[in-house]
Amino acid sequence: MLVTPDGAYVYEPDSLAIAVGDRVRWVNVSGGPHNVAFYPEKIPAGARDFLNVRMGPRMGDLVGPLVFEPNAGYEISFDGAPPGTYDYVCTPHEMLGMIARLTVE
C-alpha cells in the first residue's frame, strides 16, 4: 500500500495469486491511512462469513482497520478460504483508483 512518486495510490502488486492456506500481509509503505475492504459482490460464494471472521478487528462488514503508521501491516489467513477471485479496495483512496485483486487457487 503506497503512493508512487507520481502521486498514484496503489497496492503493489495489484494482482496476486495464492494457495488456500496462505497468509497475505498488506504493509503501509507510504501515504496512509490505508485499509483492505472487499467488495461483497466480487468475492466467491461463502467468502463473506469467512472473511468477516478472519479479518479480525474490522471497521464494518468486509472492511479492515485503517493502517496509519509507515511499515505497519494488516494480515489475513486464507486457510480454508473458498477458492476464487477477491476484489478489494482501500476505502480512503478508492476514488483515486486504489483497487486490487487476490486469486485464491
Distance CA 73, CA 87 (A): 19
DSSP assignment letter at 67: B
Q: Pick the closest to residue 80 from 33, 22, 35 (CA basis).
A: 22
pLDDT of residue 94: 94
CATH of the domain at 97: 2.60.40.420
Write out pLDDT tens, residues 63-99. 999 999 999 999 999 999 999 999 999 999 999 999 9
- The 99-104 sheet, strands edge to edge: 15-18, 99-104, 84-89, 37-38
| Residue numbers of the domain that contains 50 | 2-104
pLDDT of residue 6: 84
Q: How many domains does the chain have?
A: 1
Say which residue, 31 or 5, is predicted with more confidence. 31
Average pLDDT over residues 8-14: 92
User: 20 near 104, Cβ under 8 Å?
Assistant: yes
Look at residue 2 and tell me whether its pLDDT is greater than 80: no
DSSP 23-64: EEEEE--SS--B--EE-GGGS-TTHHHHHHHHT-S-SBTTBP
3-class state of residue 94 by DSSP = helix
Write out pLDDT tens, residues 27-73. 999 888 999 999 999 999 999 999 999 998 999 999 999 999 999 99
